[in-house]
Amino acid sequence: MTLREAAPILQADGISLRFGGVRALTDVSLSVVPGEIFSIIGPNGAGKTSFVNCVSGRYSPTSGKILFEGQDITRMRTNRRAAAGIGRTFQNLALFGHMTVLENIMVGRHHLLQKNFLAGMAWWGAGAEAEELRHREEVEKIIDFLEIQHVRKAIAGQLPYGLRKRVELARAMALQPRLILLDEPMAGMNLEEKEDMARYILDLNEEWGMTVLMIEHDMGVVMDISHRVAVLDFGRCIATGTPEVVLANEHVKRAYLGEVDEAVAEPAA
């Protein structure tokens, strides 16, 4: 069975979002299948992050329905979505700057802890020690995968930007999500850092089995690693398909790439 034939892991039907008189999203319908890297592109203000915020639970859509693995999560609280298997990173880093890298990643395991996390730190007993050691083992695998062993004890807020982006990805991975939402994972990075991040995203999809829903402005990266792409423009989905199909779409060229018809562009003689 191919990716396209699989039942969607995420199904968004007719999602609209309004803030007073401002329409951030209008009737957006998208589906993401298991094992896919699905990218959302579009100009600034197109509604990309608003859509991801609706999926993660940060925003509640004005209308429409969101299904995750067949379950209606439209009004589900954010923490319950994380427990259900949805992880995310943020466009603006949301790390605990005063905590170490290791502590930040361990926070991502909180919903998997059977013993209360804070109580386990205060009282080392009743199985809390053994449980934390098990979670530490999983965290160490993520640290090795993202090649951040050398900063594991460093204060997160003091790290260079590119490393902080990796730590945020590590914390999202620590949730053990089946669907991971990446909001501009390569923003602000140099070419080498982007190449590393693209490799990590491919590997967490192929080796770690995570389905990826990604917002990204770097068209080269999007076209290289995505299975499918959706284009938002002024809060509406104007195209969905393989990177090649979307890139060839005339509506996308006009709305996103800024291309215009030669007959219009050419000045009169």
For residue 203, which of 235, 236, 169 has the smallest C-alpha distance?
A: 169
Task: Determine the pLDDT at residue 90.
Answer: 86
Is the Cβ–Cβ distance between 66 and 73 less than 8 Å? yes
- The candidate with the shortest Cα–Cα distance to 236, out of 252, 249, 247, is 252
Residue 39 DSSP label: E
What was the pLDDT predicted at 128?
A: 60
Q: How far apart are the first and last CA of the chain?
A: 57
Q: Which residues does 24 contact at the CB level (< 8 Å), separation at least 6? A: 17, 18, 47, 50, 235
Coil, strand or helix at 174: helix
Fold assignment, 1-85+177-269: Rossmann fold (3.40.50)
pTM, whole model, 2 decimals?
0.86
Q: What is the pLDDT of residue 1?
A: 47
Alpha helices in the chain (DSSP H): 48-56, 78-84, 101-107, 117-122, 128-145, 161-174, 191-206, 219-225, 243-248, 250-255, 262-265
For the chain, the C-alpha Rg in angstroms (whole number) is 20
Q: What is the mean pLDDT of each run of 10 residues along the chain (269 residues)?
A: 76 97 96 97 93 96 98 95 92 83 87 53 54 82 96 94 93 94 93 95 96 94 96 95 92 69 39
Every domain of the chain and the residues it spans: 1-85+177-269, 96-175
SS3 173: helix
Query: Closest by alpha carbon to 227, among 33, 37, 42?
Result: 37
CA-to-CA dists, residue 112 to 104, 117, 138, 156, angstroms: 15, 10, 11, 22
How much is the pLDDT for 224?
95
The predicted pLDDT at position 134 comes to 78
Q: Tell me, what amino acid is at 240?
A: T
